[in-house]
Amino acid sequence: MIDQQILAAQRLSRDEIHQLQSQRLRALVRHVYDNVPFYRRKMDERGVKPQDIRTAEDIDLLPFTEKSDLRDHYPFGLLAVSRREIVRMHASSGTTGKPTVAAYTREDLDNWTELTARSLALAGIDDTSVVHIAYGYGLFTGGMGVHYGAERLGAAVVPASGGNTQRQLTLMEDFGATALCCTPSYAINLAEAMQEKGVDISRMQLKTGVFGAEPWSESMRTRIEKMLHIQAHDIYGLTEMMGPGVAMECEAKQGLHIWEDAFLPEILDEKQQAAPEGEAGELVITTLVKRGMPLLRYRTHDITCLTHAPCPCGCTHARLRRITGRNDDMLIIRGVNVFPSQIEQTLLQIEGITANYQIIVDRRGALDTLTVMVELDPARMSDTVRDVEALSAYVAAQLSASCLVHATVKLCPAGSLARSEGKAKRVIDNRRYE
């Protein structure tokens, strides 16, 4: 049964949305100005006072927030409430080893639950659903974020978390999963494993999938839908905003509805000016209802465009086009955010290799692969094959400890990796999302 409160929130009138945005933006700016020294300083530098912000249109008076600002204030320097009010923390990879922190008050968690519930409802999830969640549980926001949203809708939740594919299949079959939530690449993995195991998919109960946390393409959607006999929906979110459920695709699958009463989105061009509606640019989001760690004009570095055209599904919130890329160097490998700078930092601490390296990302089948080519130090060139193998295993272990993804390490002779004549081309990403 469709939850009436959720339905009403999905269908606020445009006037109501605008009113809520303006009212919440005013309250937010006052809150951060009074409680976060970083924002007070940034606003003072711009000569902006809380009373200057009257409507949502005044957003461009406010300062931006960068991921590096979060790092510089790690872990709790951007809290807008006392530490006692924080009841949960999550984190994702940062650029230099220090994670990006998200801290939630009780009210923040309730809002997150509500927004994720709204999102899942767009994929047809309700109190009759059995929701199998194979997003990771833990510091990553995917598992717990989707979990509480599904429970809020009255669905029966299976918190499977990631890994152990065979067991996932058994659970999905035995518990009668009707919805699958995981990264799109893992969905393909599961589907392939089902085929290998000879599972008759038409006898399973699966109807819908909620896939996100990494870019994916229309052709990948077609493949997943065909292999699993489901409708595959795209879900978007980021730790800094709360986690999954910032935006979600409805049955029309023509973009992701971004919950505009909770997030004020802007699409900015390369000069950080508003891009005309429908034109691609960087998504910048201001949190409108967060209390614990609210962010003004957070630069997501995700590239998309926004449309306010009415959607056939009846949901009134604007839509983002599927996110296909970023304008910074963050890589998403099997759902894990990896910065080349993290890899570099790890490599530079290891003796026996030079400072020259190359990162190659490929997609084999549905799975992203990470290969790191590293040059052997000239002094180690006479090492035995065994020594070289041991060094390469050591480098791989260090990388997987610092970046949380498996990397294949290829050691090559000193001087063999191409030297750059300007900016080093450190990363070769062979994946395509169109």
- In whole angstroms, give the CA distance from residue 13 to residue 400: 48
For helices 106-122 and 141-152, the axis angle rounded to 10 degrees is 70
Question: Cα torsion for 66, 27, 112, 315, to the nearest 10°?
Answer: -100
Judged by CB under 6 A, the residue of 103, 213, 293, 306 near ligand DLL is 213
Residue 253, SS3 per DSSP: coil
Rule CB under 6 A: say whether 342 interacts with ligand DLL. Answer: no
DSSP per residue, 111-151: HHHHHHHHHHHHTT--TT-EEEE-SPPSSSHHHHHHHHHHH
- In whole angstroms, give the CA distance from residue 316 to residue 310: 7
Rule CB under 6 A: say whether 126 interacts with ligand DLL. Answer: no
Query: Backbone phi, then psi, for 90, in 5-degree steps?
Result: -125, 170
Judged by CB under 6 A, the residue of 21, 22, 113, 141 near ligand DLL is 141
- Least distance (Å) between residue 162 CB and ligand DLL: 11
Are 156 and 130 in contact by the 8 Å Cβ rule? The answer is yes
Q: Which residue is nearest to ligand DLL (CB)?
A: 212
Look up residue 138 and give its two tokens.
């833990």
Residue keyed to tokens 């510089």:
72
- Among the listed residues 212, 204, 218, the one whose alpha carbon sits nearest the alpha carbon of residue 247: 212
Rule CB under 6 A: say whether 263 interacts with ligand DLL. Answer: no
Checking phi first, is residue 48 left (phi over 0); if not, alpha (psi -120 to 50) or beta? beta
Rule CB under 6 A: say whether 255 interacts with ligand DLL. Answer: no
Look up residue 187 and give its two tokens.
């969905």
Rule CB under 6 A: say whether 6 interacts with ligand DLL. Answer: no
Judged by CB under 6 A, the residue of 332, 338, 374, 409 near ligand DLL is 332
- Least distance (Å) between residue 336 CB and ligand DLL: 8
Look up residue 147 and give its two tokens.
């979990």
| Interface pattern 292-331 for ligand DLL (x via CB under 6 A) | --------x-x--------------------x--x-----
- In whole angstroms, give the CA distance from residue 399 to residue 394: 9
Judged by CB under 6 A, the residue of 94, 99, 162, 237 near ligand DLL is 237
Point out which span in 63-71, 234-242, 265-273, 394-402 binds ligand DLL (CB under 6 A): 234-242
- By beta-carbon proximity to ligand DLL, the closer residue of 227 and 232 is 232
**What is the pairing mode between strands 208-212 and 231-238?**
parallel
**Half-sphere exposure (Cβ direction) of 407: Cα atoms closer than 13 Å:** 31
Rule CB under 6 A: say whether 137 interacts with ligand DLL. Answer: no
Point out which span in 31-39, 238-246, 340-348, 366-374 binds ligand DLL (CB under 6 A): 238-246
Query: Backbone phi, then psi, for 114, in 5-degree steps?
Result: -65, -45
The footprint of ligand DLL on this chain (CB under 6 A) covers a number of residues equal to: 22
- By beta-carbon proximity to ligand DLL, the closer residue of 18 and 326 is 326
Judged by CB under 6 A, the residue of 99, 162, 209, 215 near ligand DLL is 215
CB atoms within 10 A of CB 88: 14
Are 136 and 100 in contact by the 8 Å Cβ rule? The answer is no
What is the chain's Cα-based Rg? Answer: 23
Point out which span in 9-17, 191-199, 208-216, 399-407 binds ligand DLL (CB under 6 A): 208-216
Judged by CB under 6 A, the residue of 22, 65, 92, 392 near ligand DLL is 92
- Least distance (Å) between residue 67 CB and ligand DLL: 10
Point out which span in 26-34, 220-228, 237-245, 307-315 binds ligand DLL (CB under 6 A): 237-245
Judged by CB under 6 A, the residue of 33, 135, 137, 298 near ligand DLL is 135
Judged by CB under 6 A, the residue of 144, 235, 359, 405 near ligand DLL is 235
Rule CB under 6 A: say whether 124 interacts with ligand DLL. Answer: no
- Least distance (Å) between residue 337 CB and ligand DLL: 5
Q: Give the footprint of ligand DLL on this chain (CB under 6 A).
A: 92, 135, 141-142, 212-215, 234-239, 243-244, 300, 302, 323, 326, 332, 337
